[in-house]
Amino acid sequence: MFAVEVYAAVRRFVFIEGNSRREAARVFGLSRETVLKMCRFSLPPGYTRTKPADKPKLGPLLPVIDAILEADRTAPVKQRHSAKRIFERLRDEHGFAGGYTVVKDYVRLCRARGRETFVPLSHPPGHAQVDFGEAVGVIGGVRQKIHFFCMDLPQSDTPFVKAYPRETTEAFLDGHVSAFTFFGGVPQSILYDNTTIAVAKILGDGKRERTRAFTELVSHYLFADRFGRPGKGNDKGKVEGLVGYCRRNFLVPMPRFQSFDGLNAHLEACCRKRWTERLRGHDETIGERLGRDGATLRQLPATPYDACDKRAGRVSSLSLVRYRGTDYSVPTRFGHCEVLVRGYVHEVVISHGAEVIARHPRSYEHEDFIFNPLHYLSLLEQKSNALDQAAPLNGWELPPVFGDLRRLLEARMGKKGKREYVQVLRLLETFPTEEVRAAVSDALQRGVIGFDAIKHLVLCRIERRPPRLNLMAYPYLPRAEVATTSARAYMGLLAGTPS
């Protein structure tokens, strides 16, 4: 096939310069039929088949290829046939004697015809889409995976993004509460994928059985929930695009923050900065278009939803409650009791009836133990021999004066000194650590080493009154005998004679 430049030169030679086609054939070294075609067409017309090319070897096997490609539609993405694998099966199982190229070309055409096409959508104001994304960041000096919650208002393209350590129920719920506060209202409806956090079961008629936590969220905020088709992310393409945009723009370079609070402050600032941008095809900025969304959002309820995962639990004989693979301590008096565990993003709260009996920072480590040493002091007072081997006290950093107090108590009282020391530690259940530390230091300086004296000194510090210690109340304390001095003894001392 000749280039367009040859066509242009021949046509100019004939039509502009007035030469004959015979002369053009002689000058350009072409056949007269070629010159005639160049005079008829301004561009190379190319070759057009009147019917599909025959495939004598592959033709009988085309239904086999079609069946393989159809079966691949429901197979896992990473376990579908490549063109090479189809060629090998045709050769090995059906005796195909043709080449690989003809198979590859047919597979490519079939897959191009089978690609899904989409309808452009318009989005009314007041509706939202939700999804989670993943990225990597450095939080508190530790490189870890970050899961970020995204809510998008498609009409205005207004984003909200918040990061969490894990994609959990409490993160899902907290993301909604934070997003509603950020937008200043509740969307009329929200579109989701079929996440197990929200959907317990997909029923045969296409309906969904919601999880209890998600049902509580919907009941509190009264928005309509909608779900896309399983495995069809394009049903909520706006928020899918937001996930990728956030990962490429908000989280590049890799974020480095001391805590998730710092990272989320950065993400919120990025979301607000995006309000000033004007997207392709729109005359208004995102912030200006947000006004239409805001006018249709529902009013926030008087109190926000308690965004936590609620689970029933039972206290073990070690005064531990297990939640998501991690054991959290409770006071020993609640051993073997039924409790309610509320898991928040950064905290775990344990209740017995209406009473909150323990609060712990949330741990995302596998099979971790989270102790509060104060929970075990009442039991250690009875079992003081376990003081040195008590796991809840390992790593408990107390001021050095507590170690000095224990050594003096055990030196003077032996085994009873351990119990006396635990009684002093139990003051920390009621009074601030700094007040107890100051009272212990004062007791060491005064030489009144005992629980009663230290408790008295703590109360005096709290009540802002001077201490009055009566040593007769502490028979085990060392005491000094001071005799009354007489004048005769003094004169004898001066004369050098014994009194």
Question: pLDDT by residue (tens digit) across 357-391?
Answer: 999 999 999 899 999 999 999 999 999 999 999 99
Model pTM? 0.75
- Let me know if residue 73 belongs to a domain: yes
Same domain, 131 and 164: yes
Report, as an integer, the average pLDDT of 310-315. 96
CATH number of 242's domain:
3.30.420.10
Q: What is the pLDDT of residue 402?
A: 95
Report, as an integer, the average pLDDT of 225-250. 88
Q: How confident is the model at residue 122 (pLDDT cuts 50, 70, 90)?
A: confident
For residue 17, the enclosing domain spans 4-40
Same domain, 205 and 233: yes
Whole-number average pLDDT of the chain: 91
- Let me know if residue 133 belongs to a domain: yes
The domain tally of the chain equals 5
Q: What is the pLDDT of residue 233?
A: 64
Q: Looking at 274, 296, 318, which one is the last position of a domain?
A: 296
Q: How confident is the model at residue 153 (pLDDT cuts 50, 70, 90)?
A: very high
Q: How confident is the model at residue 491 (pLDDT cuts 50, 70, 90)?
A: confident
CA angle, 368 then 374 then 380, to 5°: 100
For residue 260, give the nearest of 372, 161, 151 by alpha carbon. Answer: 161
Same domain, 134 and 276: yes
Q: What is the pLDDT of residue 230?
A: 80
Report, as an integer, the average pLDDT of 470-485. 59
Same domain, 203 and 159: yes
- Let me know if residue 102 belongs to a domain: yes
Same domain, 91 and 221: no
Distance CA 104, CA 79 (A): 18
Q: What is the pLDDT of residue 476?
A: 54
- Let me know if residue 135 belongs to a domain: yes
Report, as an integer, the average pLDDT of 451-466. 91
Do 422 and 380 touch, CB atoms closer than 8 A?
A: yes
Contacts 24+ apart (CB under 8 A), 362-370: 363/326, 364/165, 364/166, 365/326, 366/325, 366/326, 367/325, 367/326, 368/325, 368/326, 368/327, 369/320, 369/326, 369/327, 370/326, 370/327, 370/328, 370/329
pLDDT, tens digit, for every residue of 178-210? 999 999 999 999 999 999 999 999 887 778 999
Q: What is the pLDDT of residue 479?
A: 59
Distance CA 73, CA 89 (A): 18
- Let me know if residue 29 belongs to a domain: yes
Distance CA 364, CA 385 (A): 33
Question: Distances in Å between the alpha carbon of 390 and those of 326, 380, 381?
Answer: 19, 8, 12
- Let me know if residue 481 belongs to a domain: no
Same domain, 406 and 452: yes
Q: Looking at 245, 274, 296, which one is the last position of a domain?
A: 296
Residues across the chain: 499
Of 231 and 164, the one with more pLDDT: 164
Burial of 496 (0-12, 13-18, 19+ CB in 10 A): exposed
- Let me know if residue 483 belongs to a domain: no
pLDDT at residue 480 greater than cutoff 70: no
